[in-house]
Amino acid sequence: MNVLLIGLGRWGEKHVRVLRQLGVALWVADVSPTRLDWAVRNGVESARAVLDYRAALPYVEAADIVTPADTHWTVARECLSAGLACFVEKPLARTLEDGRALEAMARTAGRLVQVGHIFRFHPVTAALREALGGGLIGRIRYATGRFSGFKRPRTDVGVTQTDAIHYVDLFAHLFAREATRVGALQRDYLGRGLDDASWTVVHYGEIPAVIEANYFAPGTWRDCVIVGERGALTADYRASVVTLHLGEHLDRGGAWEAVETGKEELPTGREEPLRLELQAFLDACAGRGPNLVPASDGVHALAVVEAAARSAQLGRPVEL
């Protein structure tokens, strides 16, 4: 398959490596000649490295869009108009309105759009789904997710839309239900006009999930906790570790006790999430499998993000 990768930034570099490993006929596009030179030095044919992505559209069947979020709508629209299947990194678009327009356009054109919610393809997520499906912790009570760490802030979207959105989609995936209510606190400590710290409470039906995202906390945190009636699951996405903690609070004659009954590290795979994600996209394009993250899922994640922004402005929860 001829695939056009659009955007050769830090994350785009990883896409180059994985797509070459997967054996596609790779084209690349970037507005920077320096980035194109890098791609050619790393195995991309010089004739397939272009400054304007539109020059390559007639020669490819699919596009992998890894550009800043505020360009997703424009680039994806051009690719869909050219009849291409599209992989679009999260967020699907800068706004919910644009996301819905892309979803409608893909439906009308009969073209596949897969959104890059990569946590779905992480081996940790597979282990969590298996544990929850097996009822190991009983009915889910609540969850927490943290995506934070001291790093350079993005300039296209705020931290809720770029980082917290990982857990917005992940919990919808794990709990198999859409969000119904959102409350949020957001801060713009750097004064850039974009949130750089946020705390969001997303209700998935009766299950509340508290999601923290920021650019300031020391270290790098990509973890979550899911608490149930009979225990909890803790997951570290950086270390690929999932731990099952069994225990309950028992009322013994009016005196409550916290009784721990076991702790076990669950097995997780070691597959690279990006490789699994892009392989799933190629399989869906070739009719070998379903679209595992359709545009509608990206739209729902955007709806939650925009509801969080409204909640932060209004100072109260927002219904979806």
Q: Give CB contacts under 8 A, 24+ apart, made by 190-199.
A: 190/153, 192/153, 192/155, 194/153, 194/154, 194/155, 194/157, 194/158, 194/159, 195/158, 195/159, 195/160, 195/309, 195/312, 196/153, 196/158, 196/159, 197/159, 198/158, 198/159, 198/160, 198/164, 198/308, 198/312
Q: What is the pLDDT of residues 262-297, one digit of tens each?
A: 999 999 999 999 999 999 999 999 999 999 999 999
Model pLDDT, residue 131: 98
pTM for the complete prediction?
A: 0.96
162-204, pLDDT tens digit by residue? 999 999 999 999 999 999 999 999 999 999 999 999 999 999 9
Helix (H, G, I), strand (E, B) or coil at 202: strand
Q: At what angle do helices 295-314 and 165-175 cross, to 10 degrees?
A: 120
- The confidence score (pLDDT) of residue 57 equals 98
Question: Tell me, which fold does domain 120-272+302-319 have in CATH?
Answer: Dihydrodipicolinate Reductase; domain 2 (3.30.360)
What is the pLDDT at residue 113?
98
- In angstroms, rounded to a whole number, what is the distance separating the alpha carbons of residues 150 and 162? 15
What confidence score (pLDDT) does residue 150 get? 98
User: Closest Cα to residue 52, out of 64, 39, 36, 73?
Assistant: 36
**Among the listed residues 133, 131, 149, the one whose alpha carbon sits nearest the alpha carbon of residue 235:** 131
Q: At what angle do helices 10-21 and 33-41 cross, to 10 degrees?
A: 30
Q: Which of 55, 71, 56, 68 is nearest to 26 (CA)?
A: 56
Which one, of 111, 26, 78, lies nearest residue 284 by Cα?
111
Q: Which two tokens stand for residue 302?
A: 């955007």
The domain limits of the chain are: 2-117+275-293, 120-272+302-319
The answer regarding whether domain 2-117+275-293 maps to CATH 1.10.10.10 reads no
Rounded to whole angstroms, the Cα distance separating 223 from 241 reads 10
Intervals of the chain under pLDDT 70: none
Packing angle of the helix pair 123-133, 165-175 (nearest 10 deg): 30
